[in-house]
Structure formats: structure tokens, C-alpha cells
Structure 1
Amino acid sequence: MGIRSVLEANFDFEIIDEFLDHYAMMSEIMEGLMVDLGNPDRYHRSIEELFRIFHNIKSASGYLQIEPMMRLAAFTEDALEQLRTRDKVVNEETITWLISVADMFQQWQEDLKMDNDLTKVHFSLLILPDMEKA
């Protein structure tokens, strides 16, 4: 029994369906917004949108009791909160880390679609990059 079967056994179908639709949309636009963090003209819009996305994923996955997803979303949200107060673009190391995080959420989307167990979080995602380095 995979993650989707577990959700369907514990929650109303409409709630799961709405979560899956929104999750798919959010995980699809993450990477483009992350790349835009290197562009001074798009930085503030992109960081705010990314923060909102990870906040929403954290809240929804917490409600649905998807612990690994909720924890990684919260960890990423905290990192984005640090970046929100800055007026300069992020470095390549930070963008690369964020894209790796987005890849994890894309993998989880596939796990949900295929009703697999959730793929384990790679340890490297839990190590913040040096976000101050130019």
C-alpha cells in the first residue's frame, strides 16, 4: 500500500484530489521561480511566491499527516524566510540546493501518482548552503 492508498484510507477523496491538484501545480512552477532568484528584477516576486508555495505545502501535508513532506517544506520555508529579508539575489550554491529540493518534491509527486511509498529524503537536502556567499 503506497502513499496515495494510505491517504485514501484516512481522508475524504475530495480533500486528497484538491491537494494533489494544487501540489502538482506548485511543484511544477518551483524550479522556474528558483532560477529567477538569481535575477534582480524578479527576485522579490519569486521569493515571495516560493515562500507561499512551501508554506501551503507545509500546511496541507501537515493536515494530511505526510511527515517527510511537511518537514522538508518547513525546513525550506525557514530558509526562504532568511532570504526574504535580503535585497540581493542568491548565489548559485543556494539556487542549486533549492532545485534539489524541488526535485525531491517532484519525486514525491510521482510517488503519489504511482501510489508508491514516499522516496526517502536525501541527507544533503538537510544541509543549508552558505546563503551569504556571493
Structure 2
Amino acid sequence: MGVRSVLEANFDFEIIDEFLDHYAMMTEIMESLIIDLGNPERYHRSIEELFRIFHNIKSASGYLQIEPMVRLATFAEDALEQLRLRDAKVNEETITWLISVADMFMQWQEDLKMDNELAKIHFSLLILPDMEKE
């Protein structure tokens, strides 16, 4: 039984449908926001929007008890909180890591759509990049 079947067995269809719609929208814009972190004019807007996206995914997946999503969204949200507190340019290592995180969420979107089990979190995503080096 895939993740979507588990959700449908435990939650109201409207809740699941709303989650899937919002999740799709959020994952769709993640990568462009991450790339925009390298643009000084767009940095603050992008970091705030990314933080909000990961916070929303954490909250919604927590309600739906999708633990891998909760863990990765929490980890990414914490990393973004560190970046929000700094007023420095984001380095390439951090951008690459965030794109890999976004790819994991995109994979999970496909898993939800195809009613597969969620792919395992790649270990490399659980290693925070050195966000200080330029």
C-alpha cells in the first residue's frame, strides 16, 4: 500500500486533496526561489518564501503524520532560519544542498501521485553544508 492509500484510509479526502494541491504548488516554485538566493536583490524575499514553504510542509505533513517529510522540512527550515539571521550571500554549496532537498520533495510528490511508498531520505541531505564559506 502506497503513501496516498494510507492517507486516504486515515484522513478525509478533502484534506488530502488540499494538501496535495498546495504541496504541488510549493514544490514547483522551490527551485527558482533557491536559485534566486544568489541574487542580492531577491535574496530576502526568496529566503522568507522558502522558510514559509518548509514551515508549511512541516506543519501539514505533521498533521498527516508523514514523518520523513516532517523531518526533512524541519531540518531545512532550521537551516533557513540560520540564513535568515545572516545578511550575507548564500554560497554555492548551500544552494546545491537546497536544490537537492527540493529534489527530494519533488520525488515525494511523484511518490504521492503514483501511490508509492515514500523514497528514503538521501543521507547527504542530512549533512548541513558549510553555510559560512563564500
The aligned residue for residue 69 of structure 1 is 69
* Structure 1 residue runs of 4 or more that deviate by more than 2 Å after TM superposition: none
- Provide Cα deviations, 1:18-72, integer angstroms capped at 9, x if missing partner: 0000000000000000001111000000000000000000000000000000100
The aligned residue for residue 126 of structure 2 is 126
State the TM-score, normalized to the length of structure 2. Answer: 0.99
Gaps of 5+ in 2: none
State the TM-score, normalized to the length of structure 1. Answer: 0.99
Instruction: Report how far residue 84 of structure 1 moved.
Output: 0.3
Counterpart residue type for residue 120 of structure 2: K
Instruction: Say yes or no: does 1:8 pair with 2:1.
Output: no
Bigger mean CA offset, 85-94 vs 60-69: 85-94
Query: How many residues were matched structurally?
Result: 134
Q: Give identity over the alignment, percent.
A: 87
Q: Distance in 2 between matches of 1:70 and 1:126?
A: 13
- Provide Cα deviations, 1:92-112, integer angstroms capped at 9, x if missing partner: 000000000000000000000
Q: Distance in 2 between matches of 1:133 and 1:100?
A: 19
SS in 2 for 1:125: helix
The aligned residue for residue 80 of structure 1 is 80
Instruction: Report how far residue 86 of structure 1 moved.
Output: 1.3
The aligned residue for residue 102 of structure 1 is 102
Gaps of 5+ in 1: none
- Provide Cα deviations, 1:87-134, integer angstroms capped at 9, x if missing partner: 122000000000000000000000000000000001000000000001
Q: Distance in 1 between matches of 2:41 and 2:89?
A: 9
Counterpart residue type for residue 15 of structure 1: I
The aligned residue for residue 58 of structure 2 is 58
RMSD: 0.4
SS in 2 for 1:74: helix
